[in-house]
Amino acid sequence: MKKGQVAMYIILGLIIAVVAGGYIYVAKQTEKTPGPLKPGPENPDLTDDKVNLIAQNILQALNTGDYGNFTKDFSATLKDSMTAIKFTQLRNTVSVASGKYLSKSKPKKTLSSAYHSYTYDCNFEKENVQLTLTFARNNNKVEGINLNSPNIAKAGQ
């Protein structure tokens, strides 16, 4: 095997490990197709301030173990998949691996025709954690949540 092929396989393996190692809960697509998208590049009801409040609420609820507040802005499908038992497991994993949430940066936005994702770099007691929240473009409910860091990835193996 050539040196370039080995490097390519190593990079591919690292990408797979990072993707598989993070904790991600994404709502399954329903059979219904979403209604027409609102005009413009963004949902005008989904402001940066609203997303920041949702992110802050989720992170604080993770600290305090408040399942109701953690899931209050989730879509019905995501809420169904993130049961109280899964929340407790997630909270325990994050707490042991990363410690308590301390602060977050301004989000980096990724906009597509169907979804908006907001990624925050968060400071926890033991390490930095990336939080990504995904919203369907035509509503204000969290459709997906991803908490990722080196320690969380190791704990998920």
Residue 128: closest CA among 91, 89, 94:
94
Q: Tokens for 30, please give them.
A: 């329903």
Domain 23-155, CATH number (from 3.40.50.720, 3.10.450.590, 3.20.20.70, 3.30.565.10):
3.10.450.590
Q: What is the pLDDT of residue 34?
A: 47
Q: What is the pLDDT of residue 37?
A: 40
Average pLDDT, the chain: 79
pLDDT for residue 155 is more than 80: yes
Q: What is the pLDDT of residue 43?
A: 62
pLDDT for residue 132 is more than 80: yes
Q: What is the pLDDT of residue 16?
A: 36
CA distance 63 to 57: 10
Q: What is the pLDDT of residue 62?
A: 97
Is 25 within 8 Å of 81 (Cβ atoms)?
A: yes
Q: Tokens for 73, please give them.
A: 């802005």
pLDDT for residue 110 is more than 80: yes
Is 137 within 8 Å of 114 (Cβ atoms)?
A: yes
CB environment 31-52: b (16+ within 10 A), e (fewer):
eeeeeeeeeeeebeebeeeebe
CA distance 36 to 128: 38
Give the distance from CA 149 to its chain's centroid. 12
10 Å Cβ neighbour count for 82?
19
Q: What is the pLDDT of residue 150?
A: 95
Is 145 within 8 Å of 128 (Cβ atoms)?
A: no
Q: What is the pLDDT of residue 46?
A: 80
pTM across the whole model: 0.73
Domain ranges of the chain: 23-155
CA distance 74 to 153: 23
Q: Could you read off the pLDDT of 38-78 as tens digits, one per residue?
A: 434 456 678 889 999 999 999 999 999 999 999 999 999 99
